[in-house]
Structure 1
C-alpha cells in the first residue's frame, strides 16, 4: 500500500489538519496523480477525519491527505463494441454490462 493515486482532486493538509497554503494558494493534487504513502499506511486522525501521511520534502513538517481521497488504480478493462457508431454520445459498457467511464463521442 505504498503507492496509491488520487481518486478525485484533493487538498493537502498539515499536522494540525489545516489545508496547506503556498504563496496564498491552496495545495491541491489532481485526480490520477500518484502519491507515496509513508509509515506503511498508518491512519492518523485530526478533527474526526482520517489521514495518510505523505512526503512533503521536509521531515519535520509532513503533509497529510484524507484517506477518502486516495485509492488503488483501476484495472484496465476490455471494451466490447458491436455495430456501427455514428456521431452520437453513448455510454461505453464493459463486457459485464457495467458502465465504464463517462459519455464518449464517436467520430
Structure 2
C-alpha cells in the first residue's frame, strides 16, 4: 500500500496539543485536544515539516498538526547487563537509583544515536535519562518499554 509507506512513526515526548491548518489548537467536547506523553503518532510524508505562523509542525495521518519539538524518532535497545543504571545529562547517576532490567527492550530517542557525556557513550532513553552504551545493544523490534515511566 502506498499510503502506509509514507507514514513515519514518532514518539510523543511532551504532552502535545493538536492544531488545524491555521495553527489554532483543536477542540473536542469543549476541551483542547491533547496527545499524552509516551504515545506514538504517525506523521505524513516521511516527516515532512510544515511552517504555520513561523512554527514547525508535522502533519499527522488524521490531518491535524503537531509541533516538531514534541516528537522524537525512536529505535529500540536491549539491555545486556544485569544492572544497567540510569544517568542524567551530566553523566551522574540518578538519585532514585533506577536500573533497567537485563533482557528487556527500551525505547531509545534520536534513532538510538550514541551521545557522549564527559567522554563516555550513552543512549538517551527518556527525558534527562541516559543508559551507558556498553550496557545495551540496538535491536530491531516493534515493542519496548518507556524508561520515563520507571519510578
User: TM-score, normalised on structure 2?
Assistant: 0.50
Residues 97 and 41 of structure 1, relative CA distance in 2, 3 Å threshold: closer
Structure-to-structure mapping, 1:32-51, within 5 angstroms: 32-51=38-57
State the Cα deviation string for residues 8-34 of structure 1 (Å, max 9, x = none): 110000000010001211100011111
Point out where structure 2 has 5 or more consecutive residues left out of the alignment. Answer: 1-6, 85-94, 101-119, 123-128, 131-146
Residues 66 and 37 of structure 1, relative CA distance in 2, 3 Å threshold: same
Residues 93 and 53 of structure 1, relative CA distance in 2, 3 Å threshold: same
Residues of 2 paired with 1:17 and 1:90: CA distance? Answer: 40
Tell me which residue corresponds to 1:75: 76
Structure whose alpha-carbon radius of gyration is higher: 1
Offset of residue 36 of structure 1: 0.8
Task: Kindly indicate which of the two structures has a greater share of residues assigned to strand.
Answer: 2
Task: Kindly indicate which of the two structures has a greater share of residues assigned to helix.
Answer: 2
Residues 21 and 55 of structure 1, relative CA distance in 2, 3 Å threshold: same
Higher relative contact order, chain-length normalized (CA < 8 Å, sep 6+)? 1
Point out where structure 1 has 5 or more consecutive residues left out of the alignment. Answer: 57-61, 82-88
User: TM-score, normalised on structure 1?
Assistant: 0.68
